[in-house]
Amino acid sequence: MLEVAALLRGAERITAFCHENPDGDTLGAAIAIALAAERLGKQAEVVSGDPPPPFLAFLPGIERVRRTPSLEPDVAAVVDAGELSRIGPIVTERADWFAASRIVNIDHHVSNPGYGEAVWIDPEAAATCEMVTLLLPELGVSLDAELATALMAGIVQDTHTFAHPNVSPRTLRVAAELLEAGAPLAAINRSVYADKPFSTLALWGLMLAAVGQRAEGRIVHASMSNAMLATAGEQPTAAEGFVDLLASTRLADITILFKEVGPSETRVSVRTSARTDAVAVAAAFGGGGHPRAAGCTVVAGLQAARELVLAEAERELARGDARDR
C-alpha cells in the first residue's frame, strides 16, 4: 500500500480507470481516487470505457466520468481490474498513452497478476473501495460525505449490502467510518438493489410463475423468453438480481437461469452452492466462470437448451454427491 500511496502522492495528473461494464466498486474507487487527488491540489479525472449504469447516478461527480483520458500521461490508477485488459479496448487503442504513464494497480481480485509500477492487491478486502478507504490516511486526505458516498457504493455492491461471506470485521469497521462521514447507506442500498421499475416486477412475476425444479428441488431453474420480455415491456437487463432471488430457495444446490437470445441461441447463468461446481456445468457447453457462478451460451432454442443443461446439471449433482462420499 505504501508504494501505491507514494506514487499517487508524487503524481501531478491522475487518471483513474474503471473496468468494463463498470459497477459500484470500480466507479466508487475511481471517483474516490480522483476526488482525493483534487483535495491534494492535483488534476484528476475518471475514465470508464463503458457508460455507468443508471442505478449509480447518485455517485458524486458521475457526470464527469469520461470515455477516454484528456489529461497528459502521468499516473494511471487502475482500480478493481483483475487484468489490465479488463479496462477495455482503450488499453490497445491508446497504447502510447499507457506506455507513457506509470500504472498504479489497486485491486482485491486474488487472480490479479500484479501488472503496473505500483501494485497493491488485497484479496481479503471485500471491495476495492474498502482498500481505498484505508489508503486515504496514507494520502493525507480526510473522509468527507462525497468520498464516503463513492466508497460506500463499492462496499454495498460487492457485499450485497453486507450479506455475502466476503464481509470481514474490517469491512464493517470501514463502513462505520463511511457512514459516520456522511455516506447515505440506506439510500445507496435502495438505489442499487430496490429501485426496480414496475415492468421489472411484472417480468419477474412471469419468470417466477414458470419456475421449475429437478432432482427433488436440488436444481431450481427459470427462463426468460422474448415473449415474456414483450409482455412485460422489458429489456434483458431486467433479469439482473433475479438469480439471487432464485438462489435463495431452500435445498437448491444448482440454480440456473435461461435467457432466450434467438431461435437457436440461449444464454445460461449457473449458480451453485459449495457442493457442486458451476464451471463444470458451463464448461460442458464451452462456457466458464467461477466455481459458484458461471455461464455459457448454448446453440439451441430455449426449450432444447433447457433439456441439455439440466441433464448436465443432474450429472454434476451426481458427481458432487460422489465427491462427498
Give the residues lining the site for a copy of itself (CB under 8 A).
161-165, 167-170, 172-173, 175-177, 179-180, 185-186, 189-190, 193-198, 201-202, 204-211, 213, 217, 220, 245-252
| DSSP conformation class of 117 | S
Min separation Cβ 119 and a copy of itself, Å: 28
Min separation Cβ 199 and a copy of itself, Å: 10
Alpha carbon distance 202, 14 (integer Å): 44
Alpha carbon distance 158, 152 (integer Å): 10
Min separation Cβ 39 and a copy of itself, Å: 22
Min separation Cβ 212 and a copy of itself, Å: 9
Contacts of 194 (CB under 8 A, 6+ apart): none
Min separation Cβ 61 and a copy of itself, Å: 23
Q: How would you list the strands of the sheet with 293-298, edge to edge? A: 212-214, 219-224, 254-262, 265-272, 293-298, 288-289
Asked whether 41 and 26 are in contact (CB, 8 A), the reply is: no
**Maximal C-alpha separation, the chain:** 62
Asked whether 183 and 146 are in contact (CB, 8 A), the reply is: no
Residue that has been written with the C-alpha cell 500511496 in this structure? 5
CB count within 10 Å of CB 173 equals 12
Q: In terms of CB distance, is 40 or 179 closer to a copy of itself? A: 179
Asked whether 313 and 305 are in contact (CB, 8 A), the reply is: no
Min separation Cβ 156 and a copy of itself, Å: 9
Asked whether 233 and 268 are in contact (CB, 8 A), the reply is: no
| Joined grid coordinates for residue 278 | 458451476
Min separation Cβ 254 and a copy of itself, Å: 13
Q: In terms of CB distance, is 92 or 237 closer to a copy of itself? A: 237
Residue 124, SS3 per DSSP: coil
Angle at which helices 145-159 and 185-193 cross, to 10°: 50
Min separation Cβ 93 and a copy of itself, Å: 36
